[in-house]
Structure 1
Amino acid sequence: MALRIIQTRFLPSRIRPFSSLNIPALEPSNEAESISKMLLHHHNPFHAMEASLQLHGITLTPHLLHQTLLRLKHSSKIALALFNYSKSLPSSPLTPTSYHLLIDLVAKVRQFDLAWQLIIEMDQHNLLPTPTTFLILIRRLITAGLTRQAIRAFDDIEGFSQIKTSNEDFCYLLDTLCKYGFVKVATEVFNKKKHGFLPDTKMYTILIYGWCKIGRIDMGEKFLNDMVGRGIEPNVVTYNVLLNGVCRRASLHPEGRFERTIRNVEKVFDEMRERGIEPDVTSFSIVLHVYSRAHKPELSLDKLRLMKEKGISPSVATYTSVIKCLCSCGRLEDAEKLLEEMGRNGVSLCAATYNCFFKEYRGRKDVDGALKLYKKMKEEGLCMPSIHTYNILVGMFLKLNRMEIVKGLWDDMSEYGEGPDLDSYTMLIHGLCEKQKWRQACQFFVEMIERGFLPRKVTFETLYRGLIQSDMLRTWRRLKKKLDEESITFASEFQNYHLKPYRR
């Protein structure tokens, strides 16, 4: 997790992060909170007219609609019902941004046919799709591994939007491909289309990152030499990407391998200085992550002190790497001191930093420590738990069979709008199956489907086998009927589960 924070500082995805694709950010809104909670608690996915009954008397403005859709990010079916209701209003609040939000929501649960229908519908309602519209869809297609469809969607941008794709749009395509490990596809696209764009430092940095991400440092260095040969100057971001590649997949044990990695790091630092590029806070954070992985708490603390002596202020990623190292080595008191230092230095705390402590508490099965820190997070309001925080805690208390705490965490997760997501449901259902709590597992399985999440096949099969072996054939039939109904009313994906009746 610490490395993920480090990456957000310098990776090329910062060129055009998803949050800047004309997508509004979540803002405080009592009205949006009330509407989303009302729909989540009372909406029946089989009654499309229910939304209009519940929202009677409420004036939906574009801003209110957008904020409500953002709060329904884990409930695509309810979001779709609200969207369709908005279309029926005399003064429709729908804008291109409304479509963008819904396209992202439905594409997130792999409803790609519906996403394309929405794009075509935009065109029909004189709300011309823009490159942003397609980039949102492209991101979700690549996430699902549908790279060829994503490239075809990129090629369709100019035909639909009548706007020429820019260098920034092309960078976004390459970066998303690389981010999800499709660097060979990204390189192929770059070589094929680069003559229509102007290759620059950003493009090359993206590709260097992609090759380093899959452990091909040699290819990363090749692209670095290629860009220098073309007269394109690398910058500190380019070198940080290469530095991250040298460090991220290196095996650090036995001791000789750790020392070799540090020597390679120093070589990159030397080359940077030869080009007049000074290592920055991100450069040091990457090295600190290596010390953390190698469980070198003293070296981590020494490097942190060196940074401060050089006048480089540690970032949240820097502190998180050191705290992670201290926690994994059992030095919780030292980690807590650093946490206090972050607050004194005005460094914004993040959930990933707290997650280091929660993982250590999980390993120790320390219920009191985990609950005390969780309570402190909520009460002090310095940092809200993330979905990953909740998943760590739910998994921990599931294994400890503390179901009353699991229920409280699950309710909090829903209340704060952090989830649950697909991973949350999967973990909870599998945990309940292990404890043979079949009825509760079925209840959450149905809830998962109604909220628009497609269960993983292993989840369905685990529940199926457990019900049959526990002689709960009637429950299994009701569950299968529910699944069949969903495949008719919402999507055809559920029909991919071809499970024949169990035979003893």
Structure 2
Amino acid sequence: MLLSAELTLVRRTTIFTSAAAILRCLTTITTAIEHGRKNTRGGRGTTNDDYFATVHHISNIVRRDIYLERTLNKMRISNIVNSELVYRVLRSCCHCGIESFRFFNWVRTQHPSYEPTTVEFEELLKTLARTRHWETMWKVAEQMKNQNLPVSPSIVCFIIEHYGKYGLIDQAVELFNKAKNFNCPQTTEIYNSLLLALCEVKNFHGAYALIRRMVRGGGVPDKRTYSILVNGWCSAGKMREAQKFLEEMSRKGFNPPVRGRDLLIDGLLNAGYLESAKELVRKMTKEGFIPDVETFNSLAEAICKSGEVDFCIDLYNDVCRLGLCPDIETYKVIITATSKVGRIDEAFRILHRSIEDGHKPFPSLYAPILKGLCRRGQFDDAFSFFSDMKVKGHSPNRPVYTMLIKMCGRAGRFVEAANYLVEMTELNLWPMSQSFDMVTDGLKNCGKHDLAKRIEQLEISPRGA
């Protein structure tokens, strides 16, 4: 019994000490806020650091404190409570539904001068939908309605899509029908959200009926409308239905903003049917047609990830002969792929074509070639190419220098690595500590002790300053 009483006393003392420490911390922060200097935060008498530290502490209380209202009451923050602070805390607690609702109610009851705006209400609605607190979400929506605050179409879309995500399609349809009651028109975006919700539960009959209703009501389907339904059918293996849908919409005069075959390719890729997508593109190219550049980029990226780089390069050459105009994303995908498999000459050819097209090479374009040359041991060519890119392309960034230093270190070229370290510091691109360690150790091992000492001094001097 005596031992049990002692343990209880220890626990209570620990809890009391912890609570006291938290309270002291909060008091220090709020005191700093009250006596801080004015700045650009609307003349609240706070510094930026104090303000954001307070937001962070309030967010932690909301997320973790069982008695959050009691703890918040001990903070003297009335002079900084406004719409911005409430919004920042709600956004920071976006995965804590009921806790965010309690905080919102606390602010409104304890600070009568605070008038919530649409921004805070909608952030809270999103949090409650995300955490599936549907009843509380509807209470908040009714509060908005009572204050004559409209619910924006983007929030209605967000909630409908989350209903669909959790299989609550009846509730999604109900909200779609009730949207007008909240001064929110049934826009194309809202139709698309319900369409996505229906496709989530594989209700393609209902989805197709919704599009017919949209067209009858004078709505105009956009690219996302077609993409959602085509993606849904493709994911369910219903290629024929997707093709019939596109043909029917075309007959009715509602042609998609992109070509039907591109939508089918995108749908197959999104559903994971890479071989079917490749077959469709093969068929297109044989008939003399080419995919849209965005569709080709998605296909090329998927093919390269699967390891079929040679097929991707051959496909790229075929579509370019047919008239495809590559964009910068195309060059990035293909140059990376060719460099990775060691086809450096091909990568150089594609890079030069991008320059001829008017693109100034940026680091993610020439870094793969640089790395490929180093892997093949062609360091002199790599150094010459790097120097050329510093003149003709965008300035190299920190990752490019880091990669080049690492490749030099692996090949035992520590003097060149040291030169690039110095070059980085001159450009205010501070090297990683691992790079310094690798270079200094390598220089010492190969007898370059004086240079190693200078590199060590270089690492210390800017930090000491």
Give the TM-score category using the shorter length.
0.5 to 0.7
Q: Secondary structure at the match of 2:237?
A: coil
Alignment partner of 1:35 is 2:54: yes
1:117 and 1:304, CA in 2 relative to 1: closer, same or farther beyond 3 A? Answer: same
Matches of 2:178 and 2:57 in 1, distance apart? Answer: 39
1:111 and 1:250, CA in 2 relative to 1: closer, same or farther beyond 3 A? Answer: closer
Q: Work out which of the residue numbers 88, 91, 95 in structure 1 matches 2:117.
A: 95
Matches of 2:369 and 2:167 in 1, distance apart? Answer: 39
Alignment partner of 1:154 is 2:168: no
Is this contact kept in 1: 2:198–2:204, CA < 8 A?
yes
Matches of 1:55 and 1:219 in 2, distance apart? Answer: 63
**Amino acid in structure 1 at the alignment position of 2:309:** P
Q: Secondary structure at the match of 2:80?
A: coil
Matches of 1:55 and 1:87 in 2, distance apart? Answer: 16
**Amino acid in structure 2 at the alignment position of 1:138:** I
Q: Secondary structure at the match of 1:236?
A: coil
Greater C-alpha radius of gyration: 2
2:296 alignment counterpart: 284
Alignment of 1:310-329 (within 5 A): 311-315=325-329, 319=332
Alignment partner of 1:116 is 2:138: yes
Alignment partner of 1:264 is 2:299: no
Q: Which has the higher contact order (CA 8 A, sep 6+)?
A: 1
Is this contact kept in 2: 1:181–1:213, CA < 8 A?
no
Q: Secondary structure at the match of 2:307?
A: coil
Is this contact kept in 2: 1:247–1:261, CA < 8 A?
yes
Is this contact kept in 1: 2:336–2:368, CA < 8 A?
no
Is this contact kept in 1: 2:285–2:318, CA < 8 A?
no
Matches of 2:174 and 2:149 in 1, distance apart? Answer: 21
Report how far residue 312 of structure 1 moved: 1.6
Is this contact kept in 2: 1:205–1:237, CA < 8 A?
no
Residue-pair matches, total: 307
1:48 alignment counterpart: 69
Is this contact kept in 1: 2:118–2:149, CA < 8 A?
yes
**Amino acid in structure 2 at the alignment position of 1:74:** H
**Amino acid in structure 1 at the alignment position of 2:282:** E
Alignment partner of 1:61 is 2:82: yes
Alignment partner of 1:166 is 2:178: no
Q: Secondary structure at the match of 1:54?
A: coil
Q: Work out which of the residue numbers 332, 335, 340 in structure 1 matches 2:367.
A: 340
Q: Work out which of the residue numbers 282, 306, 310 in structure 2 matches 1:298.
A: 310
Matches of 1:119 and 1:283 in 2, distance apart? Answer: 40
Q: Secondary structure at the match of 2:327?
A: coil
Unaligned runs of 5+ in 2: 1-47, 348-362, 371-388, 398-427, 431-465
Matches of 2:299 and 2:114 in 1, distance apart? Answer: 53
Is this contact kept in 2: 1:76–1:105, CA < 8 A?
yes
Q: Secondary structure at the match of 1:215?
A: coil
Report how far residue 291 of structure 1 moved: 1.7
TM-score normalised to the size of structure 1? Answer: 0.51
Matches of 2:152 and 2:317 in 1, distance apart? Answer: 48
Q: Work out which of the residue numbers 125, 131, 147 in structure 2 matches 1:125.
A: 147
Matches of 1:244 and 1:200 in 2, distance apart? Answer: 18
Report how far residue 184 of structure 1 moved: 4.3
1:281 and 1:63, CA in 2 relative to 1: closer, same or farther beyond 3 A? Answer: farther
2:91 alignment counterpart: 70
Alignment of 1:370-385 (within 5 A): none
Report how far residue 220 of structure 1 moved: 0.9
Matches of 1:164 and 1:337 in 2, distance apart? Answer: 44
Matches of 2:173 and 2:369 in 1, distance apart? Answer: 43
Alignment of 1:156-195 (within 5 A): 156-161=178-183, 163-178=184-199, 182-192=203-213, 194-195=215-216
1:495 alignment counterpart: none
The worse-fitting range, judged by mean Cα deviation, of 116-125 and 147-156 is 116-125
Matches of 2:284 and 2:76 in 1, distance apart? Answer: 60
Is this contact kept in 1: 2:202–2:232, CA < 8 A?
yes
Q: What is the root-mean-square deviation in Å for CA atoms of aligned residues?
A: 4.2
1:454 alignment counterpart: none
Is this contact kept in 2: 1:167–1:197, CA < 8 A?
no
Is this contact kept in 2: 1:304–1:314, CA < 8 A?
no
Alignment partner of 1:210 is 2:232: yes
1:225 alignment counterpart: 247
Q: Secondary structure at the match of 1:156?
A: helix
Alignment partner of 1:241 is 2:263: yes
Is this contact kept in 2: 1:86–1:94, CA < 8 A?
no
Alignment partner of 1:137 is 2:164: no
Report how far residue 325 of structure 1 moved: 11
Matches of 2:200 and 2:331 in 1, distance apart? Answer: 22
Percentage of identical aligned residues: 19
Report how far residue 187 of structure 1 moved: 2.2
1:93 and 1:136, CA in 2 relative to 1: closer, same or farther beyond 3 A? Answer: farther
**Amino acid in structure 2 at the alignment position of 1:37:** H
Is this contact kept in 2: 1:213–1:245, CA < 8 A?
yes
Is this contact kept in 2: 1:220–1:242, CA < 8 A?
yes
